[in-house]
């Protein structure tokens, strides 16, 4: 199994890369910051896995195509594509009518255009029967005041997932989304002051989510046991809301 993961330079992306390598996948860790991607690859290899680091700007079709070509050259045809790259921690929260057009477009370019660009780039490199897993967000279902650009972008990921499931389906390629709730990553700590306790009281499990709590859903949807599941979104938020 060869898995290309975007935004693998840290946080959830790094956790997914480590977990997939632990399951035997050859990991292609991609990030706009090549040094961070290399650090993830190094950590995978130190843990006994196999990994390659590739730079990619998911908003740029040429960069995405080059990254996929580099991945195939290094590791062979892709079995799985995990679209995790997103703008999150650097988003300025503001009322919907105070968000600038530039801010809106910047978030949409990475969070929504990015998964589409990567799917186009990986289309021919993905093996028949392969997997695409897109990372959305549980905030799509609850809404989050002063975060219209982020929530809208992640809602768009769910719509894109459903369309891609239809179009990749004849090749036996499944396309699904994982919608994590608030998860304690370095980005989250930079975004919310009371991150450790944020949303805990509203969850059924009464604890915060770690990146490792999310990876199981990604592994399942990227693995062999989910071959008849496609176009779906799996919410992983500790029971903060039931869909």
Q: Of the listed 150, 189, 198, 220, which one is catalytic?
A: 150
Report d(CA 64, CA 96) in Å as an integer. Answer: 31
Report d(CA 195, CA 79) in Å as an integer. Answer: 35
What's 113's DSSP letter? I
* Burial zone of 98 (CB within 10 Å; 0-12 exposed, 13-18 middle, 19+ buried): exposed
Q: In 101-227, which ranges are E strands? A: 126-135, 174-180
Q: Is-contact 138 180, C-beta < 8 A?
A: yes
Active site residue 150: yes
Q: b/e map of 154-166 (b: 16 or more CB within 10 Å)?
A: bbbbbebbeebbe
Residues with a catalytic annotation lie at 150
């Amino acid at each position: 199994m060869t898995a290309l993961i975007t935004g693998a330079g840290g946080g959830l992306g790094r956790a997914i890369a480590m977990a997939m390598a632990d399951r035997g996948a050859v990991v292609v860790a991609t990030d706009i910051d090549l040094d961070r991607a290399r650090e993830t690859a190094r950590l995978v290899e130190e843990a006994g896995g196999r990994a390659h680091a590739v730079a990619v700007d998911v908003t740029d079709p040429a960069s995405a195509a080059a990254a996929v070509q580099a991945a195939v050259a290094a590791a062979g045809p892709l079995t799985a594509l995990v679209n995790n790259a997103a703008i999150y921690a650097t988003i300025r929260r503001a009322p919907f009518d105070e968000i600038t057009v530039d801010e809106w477009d910047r978030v949409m370019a990475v969070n929504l255009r990015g998964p589409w660009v990567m799917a186009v780039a990986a289309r021919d490199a993905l093996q028949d029967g392969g997997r695409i897993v897109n990372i959305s967000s549980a905030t799509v279902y609850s809404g989050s005041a002063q975060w219209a650009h982020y929530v809208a972008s992640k809602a768009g990921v769910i719509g894109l997932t459903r369309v891609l499931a239809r179009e990749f389906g004849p090749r036996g390629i499944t396309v699904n989304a994982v919608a994590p709730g608030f998860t304690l990553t370095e980005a989250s700590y930079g975004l919310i002051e009371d991150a450790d306790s944020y949303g805990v009281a509203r969850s059924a499990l009464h604890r915060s989510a770690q990146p490792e709590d999310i990876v199981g859903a990604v592994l399942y949807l990227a693995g062999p046991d989910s071959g008849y599941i496609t176009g779906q979104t799996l919410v992983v938020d500790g029971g903060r809301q039931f869909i």
